[in-house]
Structure 1
Amino acid sequence: MRDQLGVSPAHQRLTIDGVSIAFERSGHGQPVVCLHAVAHGARDFEKFAEVVSDRFEVIRVDWPGHGRSDPDHVFTSATRYADILDQLLAQLDLHRVILVGCSIGGAAALQYASHNPSRLAALVLCNPGGLVELTPSVRRAIGFMARFFGAGAKGARWFGFAYRLYYRLLVLPQRAAAAQRERIIEAGYDMSPLLRDAWQSFSMPDADLRADAARITLPVWFAWAKKDKLIQLEACRPAIDAMPHATLTVFRAGHAAFLEQPKRFAKGFRKFAATL
């Protein structure tokens, strides 16, 4: 079921650290690599790719265990995804890349950019993780979410209904995201072990990326979904303000501006890319 969230059957594959990674390329021009959230997939960026592929080569990636990529043998985390991203860009020999990352995909982009900026032109970050202080209350919230998804991993009967409400009301409430949202909901039980592991990783010391973010001198565009209840803009503002070349646009969305306000996001992306 998860394969419906990711790249199309006409995809390409790379082997990275023993894992077969599925990706899809479209368009011509400056490379744009799209990095999705946990339990989503490369199909999140399908419409975005269709709109901007006249001037950009859009490369959409399925993380391990997502879409059409094989399962991983390493614990799910932004650090792991940053390592995979490093090897993917090297194997494809990409340069002047614009990274577009959402949630844990944004955290992976941040972590990669802070250590390996030479291949990059800019970052586009959509509600990335890692920009809040891990206070006791934040850790409690992380623990609650990890237990929630842990119940799904154990097959709790109530989880399917709760997961549906979670996505329809909180994560992707806007109508434009409805088709992908329903695919995500249908794959909820399948993806719950990865969601549990990812949320557990968010309380680890290396999940705090505020220092990494402050070191990034690349241009960064934050495309923020203002209705996000879990990664709230106000909590992340100090980290955003500490980045020397960051700009911010706020969208009427729950977690993924490119899915929920695709036309406005694509317009903002083109405007940002034109400044590079």
Structure 2
Amino acid sequence: MSPSLAALSAADGADFPGLPSGARLVVKRWGRGLPVPCLNASGHGSGDFVGLAERLDSDFEPIAVDQPGMNWSPPDRSAGLAPGKAGGLAPLDGAARFVIGHMESFFRADKRGAVWFFAAVAAHCRFVVLSGWPARAHRVRFVAAGRDLAPMLANAWTGLGGPVRDLRALAPRLTLPFWLDLARPKAAVAHMPVHRVALFQRRHGAFREDPGAFVATFRTLVVNVQSRRLA
């Protein structure tokens, strides 16, 4: 593994559970309180959640995973995991296809030898995916790993534009409480029986970019769920 990819992980390799498919995952745990599973996006790692874990302190036990093929977790050769291939709650309309095609081409540019790629990744991180000041240290690590991550991210965007299953019809059947820090698409969210939408200053990952507000809202949500005020 390249040092730049290793830097995106918080795991030390000690916790290495297996999956039914035979794949193995590296897991990082903090604290000894209420378990909080933390799943990172494609191209990220368990290191995304270091700041969140520090703010949650002993009340919770954040459990972060390096996805198969990412950082310390070996690739999963089965068909059991396919990140980016669920249709989700947004329709795959013309605008979505345009963005997907643009992002796929962007992350394949390094393989084509584009001299601007590294600078473009830095700008993408600075203004889109890791834009907040609290995320600056992770942004540096992500940019350093840009060329190693490019094939993975290109494939993830390809999967989003391929044959997908539209999950919007399932929204009314989600009976567990859902907390969303992204209000789009509003029509699908509105059909979730038990939901709450929170808006933060940053656009991509408030737990990294606006951690103080995120943790405060998260703690309130947990109290409300436990007391059945969000049921």
TM-score where L is the length of structure 2:
0.86
Tell me the amino acid that sits aligned with residue 36 of structure 1.
Answer: N
- How far the C-alpha of 1:155 sits from its partner, in A, is 4.6
Q: Of 80, 83, 95, which residue of structure 1 is paired with 2:82?
A: 80
Give, in angstroms, the shift of residue 170 of structure 1. 1.8
Other-structure match for 2:215: 266
Alignment partner of 2:162 out of 194, 204, 207: 204
The 8 Å contact of residues 13 and 27 in structure 2, kept in 1 or not, is answered as: no
Please give the per-residue CA displacement for 1:220-244, whole angstroms capped at 9, x wherever unaligned.
Answer: 11123xxxxxxxx44x111111111
**Offset at residue 30 of structure 1 (A):** 2.3
- Counterpart residue identity of residue 273, structure 1: V
For structure 2, which runs of at least 5 residues remain unmatched after alignment? Answer: 226-231
Please name the residue that 2:16 is paired with. Answer: 13
Q: Which has the higher strand share?
A: 1
Q: Which has the larger radius of gyration?
A: 2
The 3 A distance-change label for structure 1 pair 199 and 137 is same
- Amino acid of the structure 1 residue aligned with 2:178: V
**Aligned with residue 55 of structure 1, among 56, 59, 63:** 59
Amino acid at match of 1:196: A
Q: Which amino acid aligns with 1:193?
A: P
Asked whether 1:44 is paired with 2:48, we answer yes
Aligned pairs, number: 221
Task: Please provide the CA RMSD for this pair.
Answer: 2.2
Could you give the per-residue CA deviations for residues 34-74 of structure 1, whole angstroms, max 9, x where no partner exists? 01111111111111112224122211111112222123335
Are positions 1:240 and 2:204 aligned together? no
Q: Is the 8 A contact 2:178 2:196 kept in 1?
A: yes
How has the CA–CA distance of structure 1 residues 21 and 172 changed in structure 2, closer, same or farther, with 3 Å as cutoff?
A: same
**Matched ranges for 1:155-174 at <5 A:** 155-174=113-132
Q: TM-score under structure 1 normalisation?
A: 0.73
Conservation of the 8 A alpha-carbon contact between 1:39 and 1:188? no
Distance 1:263 1:180 in 2: 16
Decide whether the 8 Å contact of 1:35 with 1:60 is kept in 2: yes
Structure 2 SS opposite 1:252 = coil
Amino acid at match of 1:174: G
The aligned counterpart of 2:91 is: 133
Runs of 5+ in structure 1 lacking a partner?
82-103, 112-128, 225-232
SS in 2 for 1:244: coil
Contact map agreement 2:11 2:26 (CA 8 A) in 1: no
For residue 183 of structure 1, what is the aligned residue in structure 2?
141
